[in-house]
């Protein structure tokens, strides 16, 4: 299955090797490099071992984990590309989860003012989120994706076979982004996902849901490539989500991006109900669904000030105004909704008391 967009060619394929060989033949690059972390190298790269061209590809390995989504890691990738003879005709293949795709895209976009790259996302989160949409970047000063550029991969290859290597926590992380896409697009898409048994995966039907989720994301990306307006709909759940993710970053309670977004969605559904009149019944039903799957984060009043401070650094903000994406209803999005400190503290108090 191919999804053609203005910016990237996306292949959802069961023949990953054949598709990759065709892409490399079409691009006819100079030197080719694979960017992996230890997980994608160990569990996913063997899937491509029968591909003859892999034997001639240089492999650059980085360490996994949010703490390594940093300028130091980007510098390491630049150094490896330079030392191994990469030039402007080279191709970087980002083969891994969201960190590999985000960081690798940024490294490729800035090395020699830009070389071509393609993404082969190997986690559910990266398949429906990080690999698609042209956002690349790294964390900085403990802030999520603070440094980056918009630049789209030439191609994206997606195959659900890689998802069989994931634990439940990583599957649910990607599922949260798919749920978010459905909430901002239509009631029908939300109902469709809510009825799917994510704890008992049928990979063929999941492939179809992945394709649908990517189509929804691309709908917003193509309307607003550089996030000046309606693309901010995709940030639903992310204002609080990124703050939660940063709060626990580099601690023993570190949480995955999608998990943080799931809890962010719960908080932003509360604000949607209060500020935009998101329907009461749908609010209660949706919150219960998320809590049943994702549980609750352990936060207390001593965390509230830090969470608020992190929210003030959100990239959607303008000046001193905190801008947040909220919902009036399924598929009815209100962007740039102003939010006060008192409202944020109110949400956190409500969330803390949820049972």
Per-residue pLDDT, 314: 82
pLDDT band at 144 (very low <50, low <70, confident <90, very high): confident
- Per the prediction, the chain carries an average pLDDT of 92
Residue pLDDT, tens place only, 267-287: 999 999 999 999 999 999 999
The CATH number assigned to the domain with range 168-353 reads: 1.20.1090.10
Lowest-confidence segment of 118-127, 173-182, 312-321 by average pLDDT: 312-321
CATH topology of domain 2-165: Rossmann fold (3.40.50)
* Element containing residue 162 per DSSP (H, E): none
Q: Is the pLDDT of residue 6 over 60?
A: no
Q: Is the pLDDT of residue 26 over 60?
A: yes
Domain boundaries, the chain: 2-165, 168-353
Q: Is the pLDDT of residue 3 over 90?
A: no
Per-residue pLDDT, 9: 86
From edge to edge, which strands make up the β-sheet containing 9-12? 2-4, 9-12, 155-158, 116-121, 91-96, 32-37, 58-62
Q: How far apart, in whole angstroms, are the C-alpha atoms of residue 20 and residue 91? A: 12
Three-class HEC string of 62-99: ECCCHHHCCHHHHHHHHHHHHHCCCCCCCEEEEEECHH
Q: Is the pLDDT of residue 208 over 60?
A: yes
Better pLDDT: 72 or 145? 72
Average pLDDT over residues 298-321: 89
Lowest-confidence segment of 52-61, 160-169, 189-198, 247-256 by average pLDDT: 52-61
Beta-strand pair 2-4/9-12? antiparallel
Per DSSP, the three-state class of 104 is: helix
Average pLDDT over residues 300-314: 94
Q: Is the pLDDT of residue 8 over 80?
A: no
The proportion of the chain whose per-residue pLDDT surpasses 90, expressed as a percent, equals 75
Average pLDDT over residues 163-177: 93
Per-residue pLDDT, 251: 85
Residue pLDDT, tens place only, 44-93: 888 886 666 677 789 999 999 889 999 999 999 999 999 999 999 999 99
pTM equals 0.89
Burial 126-142 (b: 16+ CB within 10 A, else e): bbbbbbbbbbbbbbeee
pLDDT band at 321 (very low <50, low <70, confident <90, very high): confident
Residue pLDDT, tens place only, 247-262: 998 888 999 999 999 9
Q: Is the pLDDT of residue 2 over 70?
A: no
pLDDT band at 201 (very low <50, low <70, confident <90, very high): confident
């Amino acid at each position: 299955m191919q999804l053609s967009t203005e910016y990237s060619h996306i292949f959802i394929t069961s023949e990953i090797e054949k598709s990759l060989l065709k892409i490399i033949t079409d691009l006819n690059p100079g030197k080719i490099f694979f960017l992996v972390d230890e997980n994608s190298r160990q569990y996913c790269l063997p899937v491509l071992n029968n591909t003859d061209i892999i034997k001639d590809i240089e492999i650059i390995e980085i360490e996994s984990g949010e703490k390594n989504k940093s300028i130091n890691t980007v510098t390491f990738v630049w150094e490896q590309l330079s030392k191994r003879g990469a030039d402007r005709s080279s191709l970087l293949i980002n083969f891994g989860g969201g960190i590999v795709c985000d960081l690798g895209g940024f490294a490729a976009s800035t090395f020699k003012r830009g070389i071509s790259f393609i993404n082969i996302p190997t986690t559910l989160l990266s398949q429906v989120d990080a690999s698609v949409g042209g956002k690349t970047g790294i964390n900085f000063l403990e802030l999520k994706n603070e440094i980056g550029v918009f630049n789209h991969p030439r191609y994206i290859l997606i195959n659900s076979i890689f998802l069989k290597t994931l634990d439940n926590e990583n599957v649910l992380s990607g599922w949260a982004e798919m749920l978010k896409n459905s909430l901002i697009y239509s009631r029908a898409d939300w109902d469709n996902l809510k009825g799917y048994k994510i704890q008992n995966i049928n990979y063929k039907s999941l492939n179809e849901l992945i394709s649908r989720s990517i189509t929804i994301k691309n709908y917003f990306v193509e309307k607003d490539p550089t996030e000046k307006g309606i693309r901010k709909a995709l940030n639903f759940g992310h204002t609080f989500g990124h703050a939660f993710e940063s709060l626990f970053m580099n601690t023993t309670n570190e949480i995955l991006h999608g998990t943080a977004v799931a809890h962010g969605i719960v908080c932003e559904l509360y604000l949607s109900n209060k500020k935009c009149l998101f329907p009461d019944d749908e609010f209660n039903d949706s919150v219960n669904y998320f809590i049943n799957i994702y549980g609750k984060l352990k936060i207390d009043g001593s965390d509230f000030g830090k969470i608020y401070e992190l929210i003030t650094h959100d990239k959607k903000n303008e000046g001193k105004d905190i801008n947040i994406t909220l919902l009036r209803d399924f598929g009815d999005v209100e962007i740039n909704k102003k939010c006060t400190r008192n409202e944020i503290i109110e949400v956190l108090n409500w969330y803390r008391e949820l049972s």
